[in-house]
Amino acid sequence: MAGCAGLYPGGAAPEAAQLIRQSEAALGSAEMKTLAFRGRGVSTAVGQAYASSDPWPVRQMRSFSRAMNFDDLAYREDFIRGPITAPEDQDSDPRTAAGPQPDETRGVVLARQAFSWDVVGIAVAPAQTSWQSRMHDLWLSTPQGALKAAVRHGARAGSRREGLRLVNTLSFEVPGQFSATLLLDDQGLVTRIESVLPEPLLGNVAVRTEFSEYRQRGALNFPHHIVQHHDDVLVLDVRVRSVDFNEPLEITVPENVRTSGNAPAVTFISEGLWLLAGGTHHSVLVEQANALVLVDAPLDDERGRALLGSARRVVDDKPLGSVVATHHHLDQTGGLRAVAGAGATVFISQEAQPWLAAALRRPLTRRPDPLLQRREPLQLEPVGALRVLEDTQRPVELHAVRDSPHAKGMLMVWLPRERVLVHAEADGLDANNGGPGGAQGQDSALQNLLDNVARLGLAPLQFVSLYTGRQDAAEVYRAAGRAMPR
């Protein structure tokens, strides 16, 4: 705080320890070990817009809760999300709320220490790519958690002008994860947190979390309105209904999560063609005469590096020349920085190419950026209705999927010699058991996929979904109630 003393008419500026003591007294957080709150509001499906140029879709949460154990680094979020026009339910607890409504999603997301996972129905799916954002929410989605993080990470005291007022700040960094600045009012209450969260594809994301309508809940003084923006885009707006603290919160890491890794499981499909399976998202590796083609680099840099390692082990004498991004959703493109940084040319739909180019130009400074290691300019190739990666050994055709209900600019990959069709989420049978629309949505997506296959005159022997794996064509057509083409 050197140089700031003159800003304070009463004398020297407060030190960090003094600000923390004042804020702990104002928030009632000194003896708090666990914290849980429940409410309703809206949230945004980050990076899941139908078209790359569209706003991220906003969903109403008729029930929402977060629970945190700060000593164990344990986090749990329960939600029921549906269309923004859906009527509110009387219940505020997603574990006991009324039955599912049309086009509604129930979910549980968890993290503990170094692990992160999702629960959908009775299925437990590792979700390691979400670990960093969940640690961010563990510490920074409540004022009390943020203050504990400030203590834990040796926050520095500071000040800044907010209009005509001078406000105190506490700033700290969690190396490799996020940085944060807490803004405090005259009582020591946290009014806003400004943080920087590194996102695998988008780089540094500026997060702003605002707290208002503080009310006393026993010893705790807690905000009853929480609003969060990512790069000025609203992602969360919650009205808090109940708060509990120091209630037991035990979260055990499932064995399949503890033992899961990013190294994909390699499965032979046919000559020159392999499925690189891992968790909720898969990829396909194709061998051509002089180079390899990868279909999708999902999730994050770690998965991208693991895919590069698998490609070298499968075919050790050929470089990865191309990667096909089937669509622009962030979970499907999170490994592109690592793969493109290794020199691969990226093929993506003509519609999404400008968006991807802008995303990859964003800085990523909170952890190493694989793109900074690339020696040559990044090659991003747009794909219209058709692009053929010609090859004497194994040509690869990239086709646009017309009228996809999942994403505008969806691509599917056709291997004419093997008669194998590769796609991601084009059949509606995604990792969330069908996604929006339930069984009806699944059937609509599957019919659309087969309409596109028929329009192009293709006759697959096998389908490879980058969510559900390999399927015989007869199974797919039988599920759609269609006759299999010959």
Q: Is residue 251 part of a domain?
A: no
Q: Which candidate, 386, 123, 414, places its Cα nearest to that of 293? A: 414
Q: Do 416 and 390 fall within a single domain? A: yes
Alpha helices in 29-186 (DSSP H): 131-140, 143-152
- For 328, 448, 457, the CA distances from 453, given in Å and listed in that order, are 21, 9, 6
Phi, psi values for residue 137, rounded to 5°? -70, -35
Q: Do 372 and 334 fall within a single domain? A: yes
- pLDDT tens for the chain, 486 residues long, are 344 433 444 445 579 999 999 999 999 999 999 999 999 999 999 999 999 999 999 999 999 999 999 999 999 999 999 998 644 443 445 444 555 555 788 999 999 999 999 998 888 999 988 999 999 999 999 999 999 999 999 999 999 999 889 999 999 999 889 999 999 999 999 999 999 999 999 999 999 999 999 999 999 999 999 999 999 999 999 999 999 999 999 999 999 999 887 789 999 999 999 999 987 899 999 999 999 999 999 999 999 999 999 999 999 999 999 999 999 999 999 999 999 999 999 999 999 999 999 999 999 988 788 898 888 899 999 999 999 999 999 999 999 999 999 999 999 999 999 999 999 988 876 544 334 444 556 789 999 999 999 999 999 999 999 999 999 999 999 999 999 987
CA distance 361 to 349: 18
Number of domains making up the chain? 2
Q: Which helix (H) or strand (E) segment is 412 a member of?
A: strand 411-415
Q: Is residue 22 part of a domain?
A: yes
Q: Is residue 486 part of a domain?
A: no
Q: Do 274 and 416 fall within a single domain? A: yes
Q: Do 293 and 231 fall within a single domain? A: no
Q: Do 352 and 424 fall within a single domain? A: yes
CA angle 176, 182, 183 (to 5 degrees): 155
Q: Do 41 and 67 fall within a single domain? A: yes
The pTM (predicted TM-score) of the whole model is 0.90
What is the extent of the structural domain holding 434?
Answer: 261-480
Give the single-character DSSP code of 53: T
Which amino acid is present at 8?
Y
